[in-house]
Amino acid sequence: MKLNKAFALRVKELLKEKKMTQYKLAQETGLYHSTMTDILNCKYETPNFTILTSNNTFLNSFR
């Protein structure tokens, strides 16, 4: 399994666990909804983990 697909699957699992929408996660992280959708639909070969993981809001969204 490619890294982008594994990442997308895990984020989708967390969204389901936390009963959060992709739109809400995009709002909290400051990403455009379309960008979040593209990441979670594996439109990018490799998600930009530097941007996502350096964004404390993204990491804290799942607490």
Q: What is the pLDDT of residues 2-56, one digit of tens each?
A: 888 888 898 899 999 999 999 998 888 888 899 889 888 988 777 666 666 655 6
End-to-end CA distance of the chain: give it in Å, rounded.
Answer: 26
pLDDT value of residue 7: 84
- Taking the domains of the chain in order of start, what are their residue ranges? 3-55
pLDDT, position 19: 94
CATH of 3-55, one of 1.10.10, 1.10.260, 3.10.590, 3.40.50: 1.10.260
Cβ atoms of residues 11 and 21 within 8 Å: no
Q: What burial class does residue 39 get, using C-beta atoms within 10 Å of its C-beta: 0-12 exposed, 13-18 middle, 19+ buried?
A: buried
pLDDT computed for residue 54 by the predictor: 59
